[in-house]
Structure formats: C-alpha cells, structure tokens
Structure 1
C-alpha cells in the first residue's frame, strides 16, 4: 500500500515528484548527502582526465597540439566548476554544475575524436563510458539531466565519427558507447526512483517523529495540569478535614462536658478516625502527584538503616498494638545514602500494609541486609498472601478492585507511592508470595546515589555489638 501510494506521487516518465514543493525538498535532502569527499573524487576524475594527456603524446598523430590545448582548457574549466560548487550558491546549484561538468568532459572527448580522425588510437570511447558511469553513480544526476547529458554526448560522438570509414572498430565503439549509455540511463532511472521512495519514507519518519514529540509534549502538559489540579484539590480538602478532625476530637474527649448519650462518644471516635484516614489519603495523593511531576525535593544523605526503620515503625506502632500484631526488627550496623524522609514514607507504607494484612496475634518481621553495592530492606507478613498474577497489577495501578480490598483498601496506592520513591533512589521494589500464606516485600537501595560525592561510611562501632531486637 505504501509503495503503491508513493508511486502515484512520482512521475514514472521523468522520476520527479508532481508537487514542486516536494521536489524542492527532495533536492535539499539529496544535497545533504554530498560532502567534500564527493568533490575530492571529482578532482580525482579531472586529474585522470589530465593524465590521459600523456597517452595523447604517445599515440596522437594528427592534432596533438590542439587536442592537448582542448584537454588543458577543459581541465581548468572543470576545476573552476568544482571549486564554485563549494560556495553557497554553488551548493544550491550543484546538480546543474555537475551536469555541466559531465557535459564538458563528454563534448571535449567527442571533439578530440573529430580532430584526430581516428577512433581506435587512442580509444577515446572508453572515456565516454567513464563519463556515463560518473554521471550515474558518483554525481547522482537526476533522470532528465542524465538523459540530456548522455543524448548530447552520444550525438556529438556520432557527428565526430560521421565522416570516418565504417569498419569493425567504429561499429564496436559505437555499440559499446550506445549500450553503456543505455545501461547508465536505466540504472540512473532505477536508482533515482529508489532514492525518491526512500525520501518518502524519510518524510514519513519525520512526520511520525514530530507526532511523537507532540504526543510527549501533550503528555507532559497533561501531567502538569493533573498534578496542579491534584495539588489544588488536596489543599482544598485539607483545611476542612483538619477542622472535622479537631471538632471530632473535642467531642470524643468530651472537652466541653459529658455527653448525655454514650453513643455520641462512639460516633465522635468514628468521625475522628475517618477524618484521619481521609487526611492520610489526601497527603498520599499529594505526594504521588509531586513524585509523578518530578517536583519533589530529593536530598540524599548518609543515614542509619535503624533510624529509617524505627521512624517508620513508630508511625504504625499504635495500629499494631490495637490489632495485637507483633513487629519484630533486628537492629544492624548498616547505613545507606538516601533521602531520609522519603524512605521513611516508603517503609511506612509497606509496614502499614503488612500490619493490615496480618491477622490478629500474628507478627511482621523486618530485617536489613547489605551487599557490596546495595542495602536490602525485607518486610514479611503472615497474612493470607496475594496471588502472583495480581502482584504486578497491584504495583502498577492506583485502581482498587474487590480482590485487593480484602487485603487492604490502601494497598495499591501505598505500594505505588513506595515504588515511585524507591525508583527516585535508583532502587527496586519486589513483592512475592511466601508459601501458601504471607507476602514478603524487598526494597533494594544502592549504597551510593549517582551524582553525589559522599563516601560510603558505615556506622560500625569500634567494637562489634550484639544485634538487638526491637519490637512493637
């Protein structure tokens, strides 16, 4: 389909685009392929043309002086044409200048044949074949220009040999030149059609590239608008939420006097709890939007892994106590280069999900390990576990589904937020099921963040200490 549509845009007779503007763009495209090397090769071709003068000295018998004079003047003219093609105007009309160069070479050789009156000594028709080859292959003249040069030169050759006797040498030379010119014209036509088809593909690639760039720009603009709207909404929600939470806390604590009905205290507790959960969700959405927009501040520093885990555990300790879930953490002497506040948030999300997924009376185990290049945080719960087919969908989606609500109503958003924070640190987050029940989350952080000059200094004391266990 593409080649058929492209063929309709190119004239099969002249191998030119029907649209003049497109033809002009094609010439600009073709000129981009010409370089100094091409002109150096033209210089070399003119040098070979001059060297044939030594063959003239050895073989010419009738018009040696005139032929050498023609050769020298044509060579000087060719050098001037090539030199002019290096100027700004010359580059614009390179095709015309190159066609003129080939025409001068072909006509001069035909003139030499006429002045010498001999077609075999020296064999000038070989030079005409070289002119056809250079016109087709090296200079890449367009089809009309190539046909004009070849027909003009062949006509000049026929006129130069018109008065010569018809013998085997003349017949053979005429046949060789005619067949060479015909093959040169056909090959030039096929190559030109191929180059124009390639130009059409080039334009299509440019068009697709521009569309892709526009799509990327639209996506970035959409992301900025979405982040701006999200930030506005979160700021709008936070003020009334703080008021709701504050008033609910006053009612819950009966700060203004005893409630007449005990149910009011219970209702106040529910309002207070729901308000805190909603405020936490708004804060998560705000941070998620800032991470997606790349506007969050990232300041990595050397920090103790114990400090990161214990700060995250402190935010979940009350929930774990209420649910009678035991959080076990084995302290270690490991440090990592990271943004402490962001990693604390990521660990908090993972630990909170683990506590919510763990049944009452069970435990959540946390440990930290270190390799030559990474620090690994492991959070393992004893919950019902998640199917491996669902894990990837949970990690990459903010959408809630009924299957995930049975584990945690905040699981998808929490894991997504944690993974974005880990990705900001050039780390990885991996979730997998352990046996029939339970899920283990592994966070891998590089020891040193790229682009920082801080050294990897561990916080090991002078004397090794026994590992301590922290429980919540």
Structure 2
C-alpha cells in the first residue's frame, strides 16, 4: 500500500504513522547532533548572565545559585546524549533542559519584588533557548511555550507594575508565537524535502532499471546478430563453394560433350552472386551492431591513428591511386570502432573503384582530437543524400529491387563509429572533388580536470603547422 505524504497542518507531522516513523529514523542522527550542539552552546551563554545578576538583581545570591545549579544539572543531562543506550531519548532530554531553563527565568521573576530589571530575562534569554527548540517536536515545543508563558503570567502578578507586566507579556507572546509558527514551517519544509528526496531516489532506481533493461536489450540484439552469423555464414560459404563446384562441373561437361542446357552457367552465376551478396550484407550488418558492443567492453585505449590510416590506405583497391600524408598521432579512444569505421569506408570506396581514379588521405590534429580527411575525385552526394546515407539504422528502408536488396551500410557504419568515439563524420562537396572527414575526439581526461581546472588549449606544434597546408591542398584538390 502506498504511504500517504499528507502533512498535518497543526502538528507538522505526516498523516501516515509509518511514513512519520521512516522520516524520524532518517533524520535521527541529524537532530541529535543539532540538539547537542545547540544545548552545548546555550548553557555557557546562559551561565554568563550571573555577572548581570550580581549587579542588577536585589536577590542576586538566589538567582546565581539557582541559575548555576540548574545549568549544572542540565549539563549532566546533556552528557546522556553521548551515551548510546540513552541517545535515542535526545529529544526528550532537550525538551527537559529547555523547560528547566524557562523555570529558572520564571523563578527569578517570582523572587524579585519588581519587573524593572527582568526585561532581559524574558527577551534575550528566551530568544536564545527558543532558537534551538526548532529541533524538538512540534507538540513538545508547543507544550513548553504555553506552559512557560502561563507560568510567567502567574508570577508577574502582584508586582505593582501592571503596565510593565503587560508589556513583557506581549513581548513574550509575540516571540513565542513566532517561534512556534517558524518551527511548524520548518518541520513541514523538512518533511517536504524528505518526500522529494524519496521521489528522486525512487526515480533514480527506476532509471537504473530502465538503463539496465536497455543494456540487456542491446546485449540480446548483439547476441542475436552473432547467432545469426553463426547459423548463416557457414551455409552461405558452403553454398558459394558448392556453386563453384557445380560451375566447374558444368564447364567441364560442356567441353567434353559439347553441349549444355541454355543459360545454365548464367543461372549458377546468379546463385553465386546472391550468396556472396548475402554474406557481405550479413557481415556489414554485424559490423554495425558490434560498434556499441565494442565501445561498452572497456575504457578508451591508445589508438595509433597513423598506423590505422596506413592500414586503410592498404585496403584501397589497386585501381585507385591513393596517397597518404600526415603526422604521427595517438589519441585515447575506442580502437575497434575506429577500425570498423575505416574498414567500412574502404569497402565503400572499393565498390566505386571504377568511378574513382585518385584519392588523398590526410591525418591531422583537430581542436578536440584528430581528423582523417579523405578527398576523392569520384561522383559526389548532395547534403540530403549524405544525411540519408549516414542516418542511424532504425528500420528497413530498402526492399528488393532490380539493383538487389542490399542496404548502404558503409557510411552509416562509419558515422555511427565516429559517434561512439565522441566524434562525427562530415561531408563537404568541393569543386571536382569530395571531402569526407572522420573526426575523432581524444577521450583522455585533461591534466587540470582532476583539480577542477580547465585544461589550456594545446599550442600548435611544428608537425601540425606542416600538416595544415596539406589539409588545405587536399580540400582544393
């Protein structure tokens, strides 16, 4: 059953006893510590009034003896707050001490023949001990305030100064009313904060469960893709191999017998092409889904971008003249997603080998890490076409057509890999060329970050200065 969070207007407590008990358990140590500190500060302060008692009161000896004896007894009660077996009664101990201090005030008023020298007693001293009564329950607080005020009204009678008695009574009533009203607001505010903290804690727990469900869902998807590859890849390779065997057998039969059924080799070729296309599509789809899994497997590691860019150059088909330039750069990032991105881009360029004759690969530093710039002379894309190619895979947007059923995954995979590494894949059409930039963020923490300082921007070094013209030249190629 859900606990009611309604707060009583007069008592400042929760309407639900179970919720109130939970709140008291939650703030027990805080209240005990505040009560102890407040009483420990108030007792020496009140004991200092003995100096004033000795100069302004007619029965100074009685006032000093009473004040010091009650303070000594209150100090003994204060010690019980530090005893583990008695500390749970800290609220009752605090209320008792405050009530005794109020009795001391009223006893001094009762003993003195007039009210002329007692104004400081009801005003200053009352404000001191009321200030830390705010850590006492509302019921106990109201009881102390009302009883102390009624006793004052009784002992102040018959002093021969009705106007002075009325004035001090009004002052005490105003002070006690403000203290009671303020304590009520404070208790209600503390319980409201407690409810908000419980709500935030419950929402955080729900968020953690949702994140865990998402993580498990992603893990299930990756596992499903791995299982798909396990069950599909081997039969695909077997079909492709069997197709080669059948084509060789048919070719040999045609040579020996001189005749072959029409379009037989062409049909077998279709089977082989379809199996190869299926194998390639499965591999591309698996690479796309492995990006998040690879980034979640560990923390960023040193990524030798110079070596990885050279490997990318080696993957480019021989028909394309590929040139590489750049400085030696190593950043902290997710290595496997970067390799997948470069491999996917290499496949994309190789598929357009007939339309591309030359490409330049430039590796250079960027404001937050590094950038691999690829400039080619092949057919370009409009910004809308590139956004369509790079958008995340959320649904099947291409079905079987005359061109096949393969979905363009290379740019999409590279864009997702850059996003996983904190970077981005951007495209800029240039006159007679296409400029593709793979921006990678250095995920290493800044040197001043641990000390709460902002890391200064790195100054460009000699190698970066030499690479900048290469970047501009590649963009203008």
Shorter-chain TM range is: 0.7 to 0.9
CA shift, 1:227, in A, is 2.2
**When the two structures are superposed, what TM-score results if normalisation uses the length of structure 1?**
0.78
Q: Does 1:16 align with 2:13?
A: yes
Of 34, 37, 49, the residue aligned with 1:40 is: 37
**Structure 2 vs 1, CA of residues 355 and 386 (structure 1 numbering), >3 Å: closer, same or farther?**
farther
1: CA distance between counterparts of 2:27 and 2:48? 31
| Greater shift in the superposed pair: 150-159 or 338-347 | 338-347
Of 36, 39, 53, the residue aligned with 2:50 is: 53
What is the 5 A alignment of 1:406-425?
A: 413-423=409-419
Match of 2:271 in 1: 271
Preserved CA contact (<8 Å) 1:365 1:379: yes
Which sections of structure 2, spanning at least 5 residues, go unmatched? Answer: 255-259, 446-460, 464-469
2: CA distance between counterparts of 1:76 and 1:111? 17
Deviations 1:400-426 (A, max 9, x none): 4359x99997665333432444455x4
What is the 5 A alignment of 1:72-221?
A: 72-89=68-85, 92-123=88-119, 124-127=121-124, 129-131=126-128, 133-135=130-132, 139-221=134-216
The size of the alignment, in residue pairs, is: 433
2: CA distance between counterparts of 1:97 and 1:56? 27
1: CA distance between counterparts of 2:41 and 2:428? 73
Preserved CA contact (<8 Å) 1:110 1:157: yes
Of 345, 363, 368, the residue aligned with 2:362 is: 368
Preserved CA contact (<8 Å) 1:110 1:160: yes
Match of 1:285 in 2: 285
Deviations 1:348-382 (A, max 9, x none): 312433455x5954546332132375242325464
CA shift, 1:98, in A, is 2.5
Deviations 1:106-162 (A, max 9, x none): 1221122223343332431124531564145xx433322221110121122223223
1: CA distance between counterparts of 2:416 and 2:282? 17
Preserved CA contact (<8 Å) 2:377 2:434: yes
Preserved CA contact (<8 Å) 1:385 1:437: no
CA shift, 1:67, in A, is 2.3
| Greater shift in the superposed pair: 301-310 or 155-164 | 301-310
| Greater shift in the superposed pair: 171-180 or 330-339 | 330-339
The alignment yields a C-alpha RMSD, in angstroms, of: 3.8
Preserved CA contact (<8 Å) 1:397 1:412: no
Deviations 1:205-233 (A, max 9, x none): 22211111111122222222222222222
Preserved CA contact (<8 Å) 2:35 2:94: no
2: CA distance between counterparts of 1:99 and 1:437? 88
Deviations 1:262-294 (A, max 9, x none): 623222222222222222232333344443234
| DSSP-derived class of the 1:399 partner | coil
Q: Does 1:311 align with 2:317?
A: no
1: CA distance between counterparts of 2:70 and 2:404? 89
| Greater shift in the superposed pair: 342-351 or 433-442 | 433-442
Match of 2:226 in 1: 231
2: CA distance between counterparts of 1:150 and 1:390? 76
Which sections of structure 1, spanning at least 5 residues, go unmatched? Answer: 1-5, 322-326, 452-457, 461-466
| DSSP-derived class of the 1:444 partner | strand
CA shift, 1:173, in A, is 0.9
**When the two structures are superposed, what TM-score results if normalisation uses the length of structure 2?**
0.77
1: CA distance between counterparts of 2:443 and 2:183? 58
| DSSP-derived class of the 2:142 partner | helix
